[in-house]
Amino acid sequence: MADEYHVQCELGNGDSRMVSWIPEKYAKKNKQLKLREENGQWEDGWVVINTYGKRLSTYCSLHERDYTRQREASDI
């Protein structure tokens, strides 16, 4: 089985912007995407504005919630 990758992308929808890791097959500049919201609904109109580095999908899965521990690690 070939390695699968996620690519860090800047996404835009109107005035909204976000940076997210998405599967490599969707990480094409100017590609329109539908993103699933936390409530399970799909939101249309997101566009890949720019792409950056890529990582193995397994790495992204293992570290997807690291930001929740950032403050705990950085507070004095």
The domain of 58 spans 5-74
Tens digits of pLDDT across the chain (76 residues): 468 999 999 999 999 999 999 999 999 999 999 998 889 999 899 999 999 999 898 877 777 777 777 766 676 6
Rounded Cα gap, residues 52 and 72, in angstroms? 28
Both tokens of 1, joined, read: 């089985």
The secondary structure element, H or E, covering residue 48 is strand 42-56
Angle, CA 48 vertex, CA 23 and CA 35 arms, to 5°: 60
Position 75 scores a pLDDT of: 65
Q: What is the pTM of this model?
A: 0.76
Look at the chain and report how many structural domains it folds into: 1
